[in-house]
């Protein structure tokens, strides 16, 4: 049971990316991290991606792992995909070198790999990159995701439209009876609003059937230092102080320093979700054409991943 894993207070959740639609990349990530002892995987709400993750778990012969699919509301940055305006582009390739997801090659965006982090927009000297939203209504994407057999659904909250949040939340509750996760960042809404909306959302849930994922700065991970993970810990403290009947995970800038900093700050967390940093450290190995045939590639990836996983699980 997924609750048993959460009750262990020793959870590493690999965030493959709410916008990561590249099935092969997800399969390789899930395979590697499951071999390193990870039991919880966060995926794009796409049944092909979910099937890819399941096939990776079969290949790794890991049976006691759990899958979560991420859903957003309008303006969720995870639905964004970078688009290049070639009338403005000067082919400098700055975007390509800054992309942590290998989503830009030869100044072309592979949208299935793009997670909407915005790093390419920030470095483009010609403002040639913008976002296109691929947001789809939850009512449209939920049925096939639930049918594909998922253990947990995560709802990403952003913005101030409480009415819309609660309406989608009610819909999710009516159509899925497993563990739910709420991924929430402060953004522009402030601490009181965060706790206010969470309290309302938890009213219709039985105690400890919900995860709150305290999201520091969404999609901000990449560096392995304390500063990058500071906001995730600060956000977790706000949630912890509210004493809500839910499991607490940290995300948004998480890395191998997160567990250490959270413990130093007295955060009684149940787990840590790592996305950008966890993907970045193996991104070159993940892309290798001989990934499935060269054991050295797998072994190298495992030796890179192991210290990160250990930083959370030990």
Contact residues for ligand SF4, defined by CB under 6 A: 82, 84, 89-95, 98-99, 101, 103-104, 107, 109, 114-120, 123-126, 128-129
Q: How far is the CB of 111 from ligand SF4 (least distance, A)?
A: 8
What stretches of 148-218 show up as alpha helix (H) in DSSP?
A: 162-175, 190-202
Q: How far is the CB of 100 from ligand SF4 (least distance, A)?
A: 7
Q: How far is the CB of 78 from ligand SF4 (least distance, A)?
A: 11
Q: How far is the CB of 223 from ligand SF4 (least distance, A)?
A: 15
Give 70 or 210: the residue with its C-beta nearer to ligand SF4.
70
Give 28 or 168: the residue with its C-beta nearer to ligand SF4.
28
Give 16 or 182: the residue with its C-beta nearer to ligand SF4.
16
Q: 3-state DSSP: the chain helix, strand, coil percent, rounded to 5?
A: 45, 20, 40
Which residues, other chains included, contact 196 with Cβ-Cβ below 8 Å and sequence gap of 6+?
none
Q: Is 11 helix (H, G, I), strand (E, B) or coil?
A: strand
Q: Is 41 helix (H, G, I), strand (E, B) or coil?
A: strand
Question: What are 211's strand-pairing partners?
Answer: 181, 247
Give 158 or 194: the residue with its C-beta nearer to ligand SF4.
158
Q: How far is the CB of 117 from ligand SF4 (least distance, A)?
A: 4
What tokens appear for 117 in the block?
């982090």
Q: How far is the CB of 121 from ligand SF4 (least distance, A)?
A: 7
Give 54 or 119: the residue with its C-beta nearer to ligand SF4.
119
Q: Could you give the C-alpha distances from 156 to 77, 137, 183, in angstroms and in order?
A: 10, 13, 5
Q: How far is the CB of 220 from ligand SF4 (least distance, A)?
A: 11
Which residues, other chains included, contact 214 with Cβ-Cβ below 8 Å and sequence gap of 6+?
184, 232, 235, 236, 238, 239, 248, 249, 250, 251, 252
Give 77 or 216: the residue with its C-beta nearer to ligand SF4.
77
What gap in Å lies between CA 244 and CA 198, rounded to an integer? 8
Q: How far is the CB of 309 from ligand SF4 (least distance, A)?
A: 23
What gap in Å lies between CA 22 and CA 172, rounded to an integer? 25
Give 57 or 124: the residue with its C-beta nearer to ligand SF4.
124
E strand segments, the chain: 11-15, 40-44, 66-71, 80-84, 104-105, 108-109, 129-133, 152-157, 179-184, 210-215, 247-251, 271-274
Give 117 or 259: the residue with its C-beta nearer to ligand SF4.
117
């Amino acid at each position: 049971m997924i609750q048993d894993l959460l009750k262990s207070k020793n959870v590493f959740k690999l965030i493959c990316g709410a916008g990561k639609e590249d099935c092969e990349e997800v399969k390789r990530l899930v395979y590697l991290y499951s071999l390193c002892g990870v039991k919880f995987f966060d995926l794009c709400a796409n049944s092909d991606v979910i099937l890819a993750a399941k096939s990776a778990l079969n290949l790794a012969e890991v049976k006691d792992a759990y899958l979560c699919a991420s859903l957003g509301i309008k303006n969720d940055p995870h639905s964004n995909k970078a688009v290049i305006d070639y009338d403005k582009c000067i082919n400098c390739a700055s975007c390509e070198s800054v992309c942590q997801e290998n989503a830009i090659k030869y100044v072309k965006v592979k949208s299935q790999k793009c997670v909407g982090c915005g790093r390419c927009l920030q470095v483009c000297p010609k403002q040639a990159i913008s976002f296109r939203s691929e947001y789809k209504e939850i009512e449209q994407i939920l049925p096939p995701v639930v049918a594909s057999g998922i253990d947990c659904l995560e709802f990403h909250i952003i913005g101030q439209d409480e009415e819309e949040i609660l309406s989608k939340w009610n819909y999710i509750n009516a159509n899925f009876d497993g563990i739910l996760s709420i991924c929430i960042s402060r953004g522009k809404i402030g601490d009181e609003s965060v706790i206010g909306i969470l309290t309302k959302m938890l009213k219709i849930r039985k105690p400890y059937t919900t995860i709150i994922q305290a999201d520091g700065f969404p999609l901000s991970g990449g560096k392995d230092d304390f500063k990058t993970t500071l906001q995730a810990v600060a956000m977790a403290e706000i949630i912890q102080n509210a004493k809500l009947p839910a499991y607490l995970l940290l995300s948004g800038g998480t890395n191998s320093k997160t567990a250490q900093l959270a413990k130093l700050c007295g955060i009684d967390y149940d787990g840590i979700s790592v996305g950008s940093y966890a993907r970045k450290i193996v991104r070159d190995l993940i892309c290798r054409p001989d990934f499935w045939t060269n054991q050295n590639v797998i072994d190298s990836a495992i030796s890179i991943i192991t210290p990160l996983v250990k930083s959370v699980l030990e």
